[in-house]
């Protein structure tokens, strides 16, 4: 047989052991030079997917020939999508030298990737050009393999995850100077203080302190009655004064917690306030740029850092933690999801081994992805009998992988000293108590209120209150229409679109008035359920306002009763046979007559009204 088989003896061995029927195949284009004209005619769905998946520490290569219809989303779901991803065309090119869909993969090249992956303990997967060679295997068998391996590998053993979240507070000015926080033009919002010129003195932004206190209180922290700021010394171009003003010895708050949606309690170690360093801009991307630009607009932006205990066990829990956190932040109105930055250093360890820190991961999805990769990587290192080094790694968002950057500094390396230019802050117990009382209603309380005030069930109340914007829309809409109907529509139809299209509700800035008007039309029967659903899809995905969509498409069924009656009379006069059939109890005739009226009125009549009028007339005659 060809090298496909020889090179994949372990695949053969693996599949035979599991009594899985398979066949190695190769396409003629493996042996013959590529016929470019033919290749150009290949349809997109005929492009094969090659998956390299780690099974029992070894990569299993499965090339799914392009002529098999495979439901990719279903496949990804069953094979534990978080461990598999289809590679971007650029990655395929990088690994195989192949242009996806244009050139067939060179099989030895694929093998090279597999071997290298084994060497590096990486999980990789990629599109492999058009169907050329691979294994034919029953889809169910394939899923069985993946399912089995996923359970054996991922679910056993304890994983510990802790997060250090950095959240940008949405103050108008910076933490220690009056520079604006939202300037776009690079280096247009800086002054001697945020650039660290000699002799410049920081002055604490009272709003930032107020926001950070609110965060600490909302996260159930104990507030320290006295706290101060410290200098964390390090050299890097993003920190022009060579130290960052932060809090170290005594933070604003300690010993808080967040409850995850599965009921688990994640302890908050501390909450403190610090300044953001400048932004380093690599115009061609990290590692490919010949130079690096520094934008000091970000230098001195207030950040609140929220550090957790290592209480989370899965990347999903970490994601849920961030969801809960951003919900609280949006209720407090201290963070803007559209312009604010949310970053996290993710600490992960498996089976009590060394802890690895993945630094500076952006966004909730990024955190989940980075942790998924990192945990799998650590498990494979252990499977190989190697040791996990305590280190700092960086997350490559495009590839979904992490790479080693430097050994982790210890706290001693930073040489913390008390910041002499800022005074210590003292609060009395009653001042803290007063702040606590001033906290706005948070999502737990709002959920309870929705149940009491509007008679919602717990599920709807929880979903609606979990997002500040959604809760607002609901309260607005519930003024105009029956609250339960509004709640059902929002939690089911609207959230289905949000989840399916992976939208961020907070950044959509939906107009509650629009949704209310649309749902009022639905409640009064002037639009169908389908139109309501379509309108919301178009609104969320394309930004077209529902009322405009419905009006421009002529979807309102606003024909008056008199006009409907006229149309019914006309249709009944013209279809006497159907009327006779209906009188004899033939249900199909009713549908037919309704259809005729709808056609005559160009769907401007409500079909239910039409039906009632027809039935009335039949009885009356």
Contact 268, 225 (CB under 8 A): no
Is the Cβ of residue 90 or residue 203 nearer to Zn ion in the bound state? Answer: 203
Query: Is residue 408 classed exposed, middle or buried when 0-12, 13-18 and 19+ CB atoms within 10 A define those classes?
Result: middle
Q: Which stretch binds Zn ion (CB under 5 A): 193-201, 280-288, 339-347, 529-537?
A: 193-201
Q: Least Å distance between CB 193 and Zn ion?
A: 5
Which residue from 93, 127, 166 is spatially nearest to 329, judged by alpha carbons? 166
Strand partners, 505: none
To Zn ion, the closest distance from the beta carbon of 530 in angstroms equals 55
Q: Which span (27-35, 194-202, 361-369, 384-392) binds Zn ion, by CB under 5 A?
A: 194-202
Among 194, 312, 550, 605, binds Zn ion (CB under 5 A): 194
CB of 271 to Zn ion, least distance (A): 24
Total Cβ atoms within 10 A of residue 500: 11
Rg, C-alpha atoms of the chain: 31
Candidates 172, 199, 211, 174; CA nearest to 296 is: 174
CB-wise, 177 or 456, nearer to Zn ion? Answer: 177
| Nearer residue to Zn ion within complex by CB, 7 or 196 | 196
Interface with Zn ion (CB under 5 A), residue from 191, 382, 442, 451:
191
Report the nearest approach of Zn ion to the CB of residue 335 (Å): 21
d(CA 583, CA 590): 9
Q: From the CB of 300, what's the least distance to Zn ion, in Å?
A: 6
Bridge-based pairing state of the strands 230-233 and 417-418: antiparallel
Q: Is the dihedral of CA 582, 588, 590, 592 positive or negative?
A: negative
Residue 271 interacts with Zn ion (CB under 5 A)? no
Judged by CB under 5 A, does residue 301 bind Zn ion? Answer: no
183: CB partners within 8 A, 6+ apart = 189, 297
Please identify, using beta-carbon distances, which residue of 133 and 177 lies nearer to Zn ion: 177
Min dist CB 197 to Zn ion, Å, is 10
Q: Select the span of 56-64, 192-200, 385-393, 522-530 touching Zn ion (CB under 5 A).
A: 192-200
CB of 444 to Zn ion, least distance (A): 38
Distance of closest approach, residue 338 Cβ to Zn ion, in angstroms: 23
Task: Give whichever of 193 and 367 is closer to Zn ion, judged by the CB atom.
Answer: 193
Structure tokens, 253: 């708050």
User: Which of 190/388 has CB closer to Zn ion?
Assistant: 190
Q: What is the DSSP string of 48-72?
A: EEEEEEEETTEEEEEEE-TTS---H
Q: Who's near 573: CB < 8 A, 6+ residues apart?
A: none
Helix (H, G, I), strand (E, B) or coil at 274: strand
Nearer to Zn ion, 187 or 353 (CB): 187
Residue 190 or 510: the one with the smaller Cβ distance to Zn ion is 190
Binding residues among 397-426 for Zn ion as defined by CB under 5 A: none
Q: Which residues 160-189 are close enough to bind Zn ion by CB under 5 A? A: 177, 179
- How many binding residues for Zn ion (CB under 5 A)? 5
Shortest approach of Zn ion to residue 304 CB, angstroms?
Answer: 19
**245 forms part of the interface with Zn ion (CB under 5 A):** no
Q: CB neighbours (10 Å) of residue 621?
A: 8
Q: What is the closest distance, in whole angstroms, from the C-beta atom of residue 190 to Zn ion in the complex?
A: 5
Structural contact between residues 275 and 176, judged by C-beta atoms closer than 8 angstroms: yes
Cβ contact 386:350 at 8 Å: no
Residue 204 binds to Zn ion (criterion: CB under 5 A)? no
Q: Which is nearer to Zn ion, 191 or 427 (CB)?
A: 191
Neighbours of 409 (CB within 10 A): 10
Binding footprint of Zn ion on the chain (CB under 5 A)? 177, 179, 191, 193-194
């Amino acid at each position: 047989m060809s090298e496909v088989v020889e090179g994949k003896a372990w695949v053969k061995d693996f599949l035979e052991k599991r009594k899985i029927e398979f066949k190695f195949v190769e396409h003629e284009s493996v042996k013959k030079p590529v016929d470019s004209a033919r290749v150009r005619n290949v349809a997109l769905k005929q492009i094969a997917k090659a998956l390299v998946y780690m099974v029992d520490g070894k990569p299993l290569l499965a090339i799914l020939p392009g002529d098999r219809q495979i439901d990719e989303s279903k496949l990804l779901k069953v094979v534990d999508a978080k461990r598999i991803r289809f590679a971007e065309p650029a990655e395929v090119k990088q690994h195989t030298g192949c242009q996806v869909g244009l050139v067939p993969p060179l099989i030895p090249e694929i093998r090279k990737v597999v071997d290298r992956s084994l060497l590096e303990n990486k999980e990789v997967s990629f599109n492999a050009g058009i169907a050329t060679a691979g294994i034919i295997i029953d889809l169910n068998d394939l899923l069985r393999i993946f399912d089995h391996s996923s359970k054996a590998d991922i679910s056993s053993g304890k994983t510990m995850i802790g997060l250090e979240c950095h959240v940008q507070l949405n103050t108008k000015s910076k933490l220690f100077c009056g520079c604006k926080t939202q300037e776009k033009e690079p280096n247009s919002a800086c002054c001697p203080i945020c650039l660290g010129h000699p002799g410049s003195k920081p002055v604490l932004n009272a709003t930032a302190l107020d926001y950070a206190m609110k965060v600490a209180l909302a996260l159930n922290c104990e507030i320290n009655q006295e706290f101060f700021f410290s200098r964390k010394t390090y050299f890097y171009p993003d920190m022009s004064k060579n130290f960052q003003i932060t809090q170290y010895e005594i933070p604003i708050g300690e010993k808080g917690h967040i409850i995850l949606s599965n009921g688990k309690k994640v302890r908050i170690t501390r909450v403190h306030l610090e300044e953001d360093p400048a932004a380093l801009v690599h115009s061609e991307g990290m590692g490919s740029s010949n130079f690096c630009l520094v934008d000091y607009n970000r230098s001195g932006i207030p950040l609140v850092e929220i550090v957790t205990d290592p209480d989370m066990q899965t990347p999903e829990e970490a994601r849920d933690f961030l969801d809960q956190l951003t919900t609280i932040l949006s209720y407090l109105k201290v963070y803007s999801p559209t312009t604010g930055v949310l970053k996290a250093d993710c600490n992960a360890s498996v089976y009590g081994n060394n802890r690895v820190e993945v630094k500076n991961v952006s966004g909730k999805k990024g955190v989940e992805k980075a942790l998924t990769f990192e945990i799998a990587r650590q498990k494979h290192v252990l499977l190989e009998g190697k040791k996990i080094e305590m280190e700092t790694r960086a997350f490559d968002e495009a590839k979904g992988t992490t790479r080693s950057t430097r050994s982790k500094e210890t706290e001693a390396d930073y040489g913390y000293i008390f910041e002499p230019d800022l005074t210590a802050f003292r609060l009395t117990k009653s001042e803290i108590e007063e702040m606590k009382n001033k906290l706005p209603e948070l999502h737990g309380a709002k959920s309870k209120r929705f149940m009491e005030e509007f008679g919602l069930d717990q599920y709807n109340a929880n979903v609606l209150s979990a997002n500040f914007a959604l809760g607002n829309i609901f309260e607005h809409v519930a003024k105009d229409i029956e609250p339960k109907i509004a709640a059902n529509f929002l939690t089911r139809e609207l959230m289905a679109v949000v989840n399916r299209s992976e939208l961020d509700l907070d950044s959509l800035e939906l107009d509650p008035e629009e949704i209310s008007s649309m749902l009022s039309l639905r409640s009064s029967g002037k639009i169908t359920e389908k139109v309501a659903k379509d309108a919301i899809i178009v609104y969320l995905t394309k930004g077209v306002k529902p009322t405009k969509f419905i009006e421009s498409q002529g979807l309102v069924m606003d024909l008056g009763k008199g006009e409907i009656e006229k149309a019914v009379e006309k249709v009944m006069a013209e279809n006497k046979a159907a009327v006779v059939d209906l009188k004899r109890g033939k249900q199909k005739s009713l549908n037919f007559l309704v259809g005729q009226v709808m056609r005559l009125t160009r769907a401007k009549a409500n079909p239910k009204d039409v039906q009632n009028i027809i039935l009335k007339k039949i009885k009356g005659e």
